[in-house]
Amino acid sequence: MSTRAEKARANRQRMRAAAQTLFAGRGYSATSMQAIADEAGMAVQTLYFTFRTKRALLSELLDVAIAGDDEPVPTLERPRILAAIDDPDPVAQLHEQARIAREIYERVAPVLQVVAHAAPGDPEIHELWMTNNEQRAVVMERMIAALAAKTPLRDGLGLAMATDVALALQSPEMYQFFTAHRGWSPSRWEQWTADALVAQLLPPR
């Protein structure tokens, strides 16, 4: 990567970090682009040139937090997801799903709170929230289809219901409730979620 590209990438990261700090502290609506630029030590024109809108900045902040990096690789093409899908052991797949979910939520929980709080009063952020939920459902449908190709599901459980169960157990709301309000550690949530996925989706053993 050229020095110029490295600098641009570093500046972009600074702006995202500044936005996350202010969104978490003040809320999305109360944070202006000028305030983000000031926090990042950048000209506000540079911020607008880079992201165009505050909504686009929040969207990228959410995407990077979910992925763990800023590489333009779709979720279903990432090595961890592909490895879980290809694992021949259904129990191992479900444990890896819980592990991946825990790692994502440890990164993304503060950003998701910003989105969730802003969504009711802002149609664009509501759309962002709904898009995130839809993307999560697409990934889960693929994971559950892979699971069902390896093993029969629990009696009476079709693909759609199994997907819904997995989405509920691995939802950000469930993670937030247990870790932020009930004092669970992320690792405890991961173990409980993995055990619950196995119990709810697979036949008794």
On whether residue 65 sits in a domain, the answer given is no
Q: 150 and 92, same structural domain?
A: yes
Which residue range forms the structural domain that includes residue 109? 71-201
On whether residue 141 sits in a domain, the answer given is yes
Q: 32 and 130, same structural domain?
A: no
On whether residue 158 sits in a domain, the answer given is yes
pLDDT of residue 5: 85
In angstroms and rounded to an integer, the radius of gyration of the C-alpha atoms of the chain is 19
pLDDT of residue 4: 85
- 202 torsion bin: left (phi>0), alpha (psi -120 to 50), beta (else): beta
pLDDT of residue 47: 95
Q: 19 and 80, same structural domain?
A: no
Contact 85, 142 (CB under 8 A): yes
Q: 95 and 4, same structural domain?
A: no
pLDDT digits (tens, 9 = 90+) for 103-162: 999 999 888 888 988 999 899 999 999 999 999 999 999 999 999 999 999 998 999 999
pLDDT of residue 147: 98
Closest of 112, 100, 98 to residue 176, by C-alpha: 112
pLDDT of residue 134: 95
Q: Which long-range contacts (CB under 8 A, 24 or more apart) does 89-94 make?
A: 89/150, 90/147, 90/150, 90/151, 90/202, 91/198, 91/202, 93/143, 93/146, 93/147, 93/150, 94/147, 94/194, 94/197, 94/198, 94/201, 94/202
pLDDT of residue 53: 94
Contact 200, 165 (CB under 8 A): yes
Q: 184 and 120, same structural domain?
A: yes
pLDDT of residue 1: 57
Contact 100, 189 (CB under 8 A): no
Q: 124 and 96, same structural domain?
A: yes
Q: 162 and 125, same structural domain?
A: yes
Q: 87 and 13, same structural domain?
A: no
**Cα 185 to Cα 180: distance, rounded to the nearest angstrom:** 9
Contact 85, 93 (CB under 8 A): yes
On whether residue 14 sits in a domain, the answer given is yes
Q: 132 and 44, same structural domain?
A: no
**Cα 144 to Cα 161: distance, rounded to the nearest angstrom:** 10
pLDDT of residue 33: 96
């961890």: which residue's tokens?
80
Angle (deg, nearest 10), helices 159-169 and 186-201:
160
**Cα 20 to Cα 69: distance, rounded to the nearest angstrom:** 15
Query: What CATH number does residue 28 fall under?
Result: 1.10.10.60
Q: 197 and 132, same structural domain?
A: yes
Closest of 35, 117, 71 to residue 15, by C-alpha: 35
Q: 84 and 24, same structural domain?
A: no
Domain total in the chain: 2
On whether residue 88 sits in a domain, the answer given is yes
pLDDT along the chain (205 residues), means of 10: 84 94 92 96 95 94 90 90 96 98 92 89 92 94 97 95 97 94 97 98 92
On whether residue 59 sits in a domain, the answer given is no
On whether residue 122 sits in a domain, the answer given is yes
Q: 82 and 9, same structural domain?
A: no
pLDDT of residue 145: 97
On whether residue 60 sits in a domain, the answer given is no
